[in-house]
Amino acid sequence: MSQHDSIRAVEWKDNHLVLLDQRKLPHNEQFIALYSADDTAEAIRNMVVRGAPAIGIAAAYAVVMAARKSYKQYPQDWRQRLLAEIEMLKNSRPTAVNLMWALNRMCEAADDIQGDPEYPLLELAKKIHQDDIDANYRMGELGSALIAPSHGVLTHCNTGSLATGGYGTALGVIRSAYSKGIIEHVYADETRPWWQGSRLTAWELVKDKIPAHLLCDSAAAHLMKLGKVSWVIVGSDRIAANGDVANKIGTYSLAVNARYHGVKFMVVAPTSTIDLATLCGNDIPIEERPQDEVLNVSNQRIAAYHTQAWNPAFDVTPASLVDALVTEKGVIENPTAEKIAALMAS
């Protein structure tokens, strides 16, 4: 599978965080060096880094830099100073539960540290990063095993190496299935208004030499009607305790169309994305982003002036429309609250 796994968007180098600036893709592969939690929070807000697992990993490394600064300036009171920076990071993007999960792990670890916190926190951040890559390979194996040999699958947004520590969630399943010869072709939604499919997923697929076609989001139902795909495979930013799935806007309509056309619908996400404290999808906060993202493309106005826009970044797909939830701990078919609770307790 390594021949289809050539990209890493989040890296720790020496004493700082390095991010591949996803706003510049696909035309420029530009890396940004970050040396503080403030800069990392800004990068998360501005979508230099995006994708729930990648956001969590970046935030974990940001805590290392914040702890270094706090300990150097306030060696007797560094924990209290660190908490303020962690709170700032938590507010950078509210929907992605991996962000809260990673920050809570770092915060709990900090409580038990005596002396300089930088090294032990860095070891934990690196473990969170590597565990994510390992989980993605595991999910790739589990998810690809569900797919009968077919000509194509459809994916939405970006769920690959750019959105994770490496390899990817939904795109990891696709990478695994393609490497085994199970699928021959990938269809990727363009994913307006940030064009994650056009700019990022298509870029990853081309880079790793996986045959793909890009399509307008509104063409997906017609693609299904023509029998071109057997599965829709997506990721998630938060999964509620009952199995409802928050993901990039447009996912819900794909699930509805898939059910109507007899196409299977798979969600691929690590268990860190499952939020047992959120009982159902109605309780998931949905981030609304600036309307200019809809009204403009690359700073070029495409809508009539004085037009208003509504720009929710996510929607919620009911668990009843999910045929398979793939995690690193195992697969849940037709997820329910009981099945998810049993998985998380295992």
Catalytically annotated residues: 237
Phi, psi at 191, each rounded to 5°: 65, 75
Tokens found for residue 27: 């035309």
For 245-292, give the DSSP string: EEEETTHHHHHHHHHHHT-EEEEE--GGGEETTS-SGGGS---B--TH
Q: Euclidean distance between the first and final Cα of the chain, in Å? A: 28
3-class state of residue 85 by DSSP: helix
Cα angle vertex 261, ends 255, 228, to 5°?
95
What's the CA gap between 340 and 330, in Å, rounded?
A: 10
Q: How many C-beta atoms surround the C-beta of residue 16 within 10 A? A: 16
